[in-house]
Amino acid sequence: MKMRDLGLAKHLSVTEAESQTGISRWTWRRMAYDGRVASVKVGVRLLLPLSEIERVLQEGTRPRLQDSQL
């Protein structure tokens, strides 16, 4: 059975999350174990829902400056 069949295609490993975001896998692990992001443990793998990765990136996004502030 493939990961897609289990519904895990909507998840990334911490290593995949690192390569996609530039945030280290150790930071992702720490955030997961601290409860700051949801995660799924499958054997020795720690998987992160794509929605959580997107949420972290959105929360860290700084607002665009208004033209009057430039």
Does a structural domain hold residue 50? yes
Q: What are phi and psi of 14, to 5 degrees?
A: -65, -30
Per-residue pLDDT at 40: 95
Does a structural domain hold residue 64? no
pTM, full prediction: 0.77
pLDDT per 10-residue tile (average), the chain, 70 residues: 60 96 95 95 95 93 72
What gap in Å lies between CA 46 and CA 13, rounded to an integer?
6
Give the count of domains, the chain: 1
Per-residue pLDDT at 61: 81
Does a structural domain hold residue 8? yes
What gap in Å lies between CA 29 and CA 22, rounded to an integer?
14
Return the structure tokens found at 4: 């897609």
| Cα→Cα distances 50→2, 39, 64, 65, Å | 18, 10, 24, 28
Q: Domain with 13 in it: what CATH number? A: 3.90.105
